[in-house]
Chains A and B, each alone.
Chain A
């Protein structure tokens, strides 16, 4: 009886239905000693993968203009498909750690010169052995004036790239960046054979059999895959099923084995189905309400502080995300990031503090907040809830409903609007997120937090962090960066949204990565049939 219960709980744990802590609680409740329970938990997580089967997945993206050129990859379908047939120099593993992929090891003494030691004996699907020549050609595809690759911007710090023999590539950056290895794990920068960047030949665990843009991609296991303990399915079919209802019906009736982007409105109905597991992973994606410091009245520290204290974050998680997410702490770094500053006290709704700062700011009248659902699903509702809670602190927020069309060019990051709703996918490395939207020279600096003392200090610290090779020193610098944004920045970040997906109970997997939806978009090579 007890054994069966523990077995059940182990199954749930390995499928992600319960977490390790819940497993421990139930095991201890069943009278198992803690060390035994711990090892039972590890057993379940380390369940041995089985080979075989045909895996069919329905994805909520995909368009007839998709291609197999990773440089144009722009949606989750192309992302998952790209990671399924291709490899990169580095990858982020399911624990959120950066590890070498086609580069077996990488080294740098100063953060400026990076040496990638390539893995030997890796074959492309066409039988050619991967060497430095292919890496150079692949990188050339994403660099240079004429390239239209979406990774062109992130590779712009690369000053030179050259080969040293067949299995060594040296890249030189124009300024030190110790997080550069994260950039090369970007899904755009897939390594392809020299001379063929576009036909979908890679080194990945699966070989493309047919690809119909906006419809499906059919793949077969690569018998010569170099990576051990990966690519367990024999065949794979990735289907583009944009309509959420069609996707959910297909999963319920067993026509697909897994799907992404569950519609939260109907999630409780799906949970009733005994053959389906719902999974969620809170990653780096977050919803924000950036305040522009160069637009009145947001230049005032106390007004910003008043608004930060006037938001009931838990209410937003419950009502906007229906519980599938986490509260944000006014920093763009989430718990999934390695150097997330967990020392900062969680900001909660506090009418007294909000009223205190509001009074100190001397502001009177309405504070305008622009929102449209183009920013994120439920943005207008979230703004209304914020206006409601702010009223309790005596702050009058006027919600302006903006049109969805042109929201990103006319409202967001525009001096005409001081405060609006916004969405960020997040970045795997902290300095990457800061560079994207918080350093002074970024075009996407939507808070215009550039000139205050804290902002100046922040900009200097980000540069230091990029140079720092020592982990504990780097941690200190990045913690301080986050504290500066938390305290002085124009960022109001109340929500981290979860990726919610569902799969058939036949599917088994290890720990789920949170850097992208679908197990870091690598579910195809990581999952197996139980």
Chain B
């Protein structure tokens, strides 16, 4: 077997094992959450027997390990269970499938994340390479200062500044990104412009500086000096010789930031009133809607694992040493 294929398969297996452990952690962490859905939803009217009836109806009276296997087996088949909210003890069950609850919001989150990624990733790669090329120049310093400034501010602050300049003082973009399933594609892009810019400003610094550092680091190695002595131009050295060896660290950072775009943007969602999956999870935690919390947490975990796996694989397949083993 080719060593690359072998390494990739190894990583895949490791990813699956990680997912198993993460699912265990999610389940037990939620077990440890104080409070109870019955009490949260019934409030003042929570009599002990009503709460007990509620728990029995929701299957919360079964032992934890049985509930874990029920949930995990369902999740493997794409069934994340039924949301607790919308149920009541009067017999009417209007609760939605967790998958149906999460799906439209996950699509919104992924849309925003892709918007931000499409702007941020090429931008930071180009800026990273350019700053490495012209390092210590005025250009390098100003790009570094600017990106460091935007990453240093909390994202809600960046968001408010953008709103002030682009929605309030000059009404170029809308300040509300309240899209729904019927919003047309063009309108959707227009509405999500400001949140996407906010996220871009927040993540560019990390990726750009990693690209710059990785390339500069390589420029000091002997094989680059060799290339230099053989008369290659600066651009050629960076693109052709340095970059292929720099992909692994860059891909890792990009993966990390993309995962952040999916799982960590609840603040931006709130500021721009964007119906993403973060707000859903926060609401679900507040009302102890366990299946939804577990579903969201699992999806977040899968996102992290998949993106890191992808970064690993990119690191492996672009690494000349692994590609051409002795």
The A-contacting residues of B in range 24-71, CB under 8 angstroms, are 41-45, 50
Say how far A49's CB is from chain B's closest CB, in angstroms.
27
The A-contacting residues of B in range 115-167, CB under 8 angstroms, are 160, 163, 167
Residues of A within 8 A of B86 (CB): 65, 67
Contact of A197 among B92, B178, B180 (CB under 8 A): B92
**In the complex, what distance in Å separates the CA atom of A274 from the CA atom of B38?**
49
Decide if A212 touches B283 in the complex (CB within 8 Å): no
With A67-B94, A72-B88, A216-B180: A243-B174 Cβ-Cβ less than 8 Å: no
The winner among A147, A242, A249 for most chain B CB atoms within 10 A is A249
Residues of B within 8 A of A141 (CB): 90
Is B284 on the interface with A (CB-CB < 8 A)? yes
**In the complex, what distance in Å separates the CA atom of A239 from the CA atom of B274?**
11
Is B298 on the interface with A (CB-CB < 8 A)? no
Is A215 on the interface with B (CB-CB < 8 A)? yes
Decide if A147 touches B283 in the complex (CB within 8 Å): no
Contact of A253 among B85, B174, B272 (CB under 8 A): B174
Residues of A within 8 A of B325 (CB): none
Decide if B41 touches A64 in the complex (CB within 8 Å): no
Decide if B176 touches A255 in the complex (CB within 8 Å): yes
Is B168 on the interface with A (CB-CB < 8 A)? yes
With A65-B85, A72-B88: A253-B175 Cβ-Cβ less than 8 Å: yes
Is B72 on the interface with A (CB-CB < 8 A)? no
Contact of A255 among B50, B92, B175 (CB under 8 A): B175
Residues of A within 8 A of B222 (CB): none
Is A224 on the interface with B (CB-CB < 8 A)? no
Residues of B within 8 A of A245 (CB): 160, 163, 271
Decide if A249 touches B279 in the complex (CB within 8 Å): no
Is B289 on the interface with A (CB-CB < 8 A)? yes
With A246-B270, A246-B272, A250-B175: A63-B167 Cβ-Cβ less than 8 Å: no
Is A69 on the interface with B (CB-CB < 8 A)? yes
**In the complex, what distance in Å separates the CA atom of A422 from the CA atom of B196?**
42
Is B275 on the interface with A (CB-CB < 8 A)? yes
Is B13 on the interface with A (CB-CB < 8 A)? no
Is A152 on the interface with B (CB-CB < 8 A)? yes
Decide if A146 touches B90 in the complex (CB within 8 Å): yes
Contact size range, B: 35 or more
**In the complex, what distance in Å separates the CA atom of A390 from the CA atom of B160?**
42
Say how far B229's CB is from chain A's closest CB, in angstroms.
58
With A72-B88, A148-B41, A253-B168: A64-B280 Cβ-Cβ less than 8 Å: yes
- In the complex, residue of chain B having the shortest beta-carbon distance to the beta carbon of A64: B283
Decide if A198 touches B176 in the complex (CB within 8 Å): no
Decide if A253 touches B167 in the complex (CB within 8 Å): yes
Say how far B88's CB is from chain A's closest CB, in angstroms.
4
The B-contacting residues of A in range 205-226, CB under 8 angstroms, are 210, 212, 214-216
**In the complex, what distance in Å separates the CA atom of A150 from the CA atom of B44?**
9
Is A236 on the interface with B (CB-CB < 8 A)? no
Say how far B132's CB is from chain A's closest CB, in angstroms.
39
Is B319 on the interface with A (CB-CB < 8 A)? no
Decide if B174 touches A242 in the complex (CB within 8 Å): no
- In the complex, residue of chain B having the shortest beta-carbon distance to the beta carbon of A210: B180
The B-contacting residues of A in range 52-75, CB under 8 angstroms, are 63-65, 67, 69, 71-72
Residues of B within 8 A of A147 (CB): 88-90
Is A252 on the interface with B (CB-CB < 8 A)? yes
**In the complex, what distance in Å separates the CA atom of A150 from the CA atom of B279?**
25
The B-contacting residues of A in range 375-425, CB under 8 angstroms, are none
Decide if A63 touches B283 in the complex (CB within 8 Å): yes
Residues of B within 8 A of A150 (CB): 43, 45
Residues of B within 8 A of A64 (CB): 85, 101, 279-280, 283-284
**In the complex, what distance in Å separates the CA atom of A332 from the CA atom of B109?**
47
Say how far B83's CB is from chain A's closest CB, in angstroms.
9
Say how far B43's CB is from chain A's closest CB, in angstroms.
8
Residues of A within 8 A of B50 (CB): 148
**In the complex, what distance in Å separates the CA atom of A215 from the CA atom of B167?**
21
Decide if A214 touches B176 in the complex (CB within 8 Å): no
Is A153 on the interface with B (CB-CB < 8 A)? yes
**In the complex, what distance in Å separates the CA atom of A253 from the CA atom of B279?**
24
**In the complex, what distance in Å separates the CA atom of A229 from the CA atom of B44?**
39
With A64-B283, A239-B273: A253-B171 Cβ-Cβ less than 8 Å: yes
Decide if B94 touches A198 in the complex (CB within 8 Å): yes
Decide if B270 touches A255 in the complex (CB within 8 Å): no
Say how far B299's CB is from chain A's closest CB, in angstroms.
15
Is A241 on the interface with B (CB-CB < 8 A)? yes
**In the complex, what distance in Å separates the CA atom of A210 from the CA atom of B176?**
19
Is B287 on the interface with A (CB-CB < 8 A)? yes
Say how far A518's CB is from chain B's closest CB, in angstroms.
18
Residues of A within 8 A of B174 (CB): 253, 255
- In the complex, residue of chain B having the shortest beta-carbon distance to the beta carbon of A67: B86
Residues of B within 8 A of A71 (CB): 88
Decide if B275 touches A215 in the complex (CB within 8 Å): yes
Name B residues whose Cβ lies closer than 8 Å to a Cβ of A: 41-45, 50, 85-86, 88-92, 94, 101, 160, 163, 167-168, 171, 174-176, 178, 180, 270-273, 275, 279-280, 283-284, 286-287, 289
Known: A63-B287, A72-B88, A241-B273. 13 other contacts (CB 8 A): A63-B286, A64-B279, A64-B284, A65-B289, A67-B94, A148-B41, A215-B178, A239-B178, A243-B271, A245-B160, A246-B270, A250-B175, A255-B176
Shortest 5 CB-CB distances between A and B: which pairs? A148-B88, A65-B85, A64-B283, A249-B175, A215-B275
Offer 20 A-B interface pairs, CB within 8 angstroms, sorted by A.
A63-B286, A64-B279, A64-B284, A65-B283, A65-B289, A67-B86, A146-B90, A148-B45, A210-B180, A212-B275, A216-B178, A216-B180, A239-B273, A241-B273, A243-B271, A245-B160, A246-B270, A246-B272, A250-B176, A252-B168
Name A residues whose Cβ lies closer than 8 Å to a Cβ of B: 63-65, 67, 69, 71-72, 141, 146-148, 150, 152-153, 197-198, 210, 212, 214-216, 239-243, 245-246, 249-250, 252-256
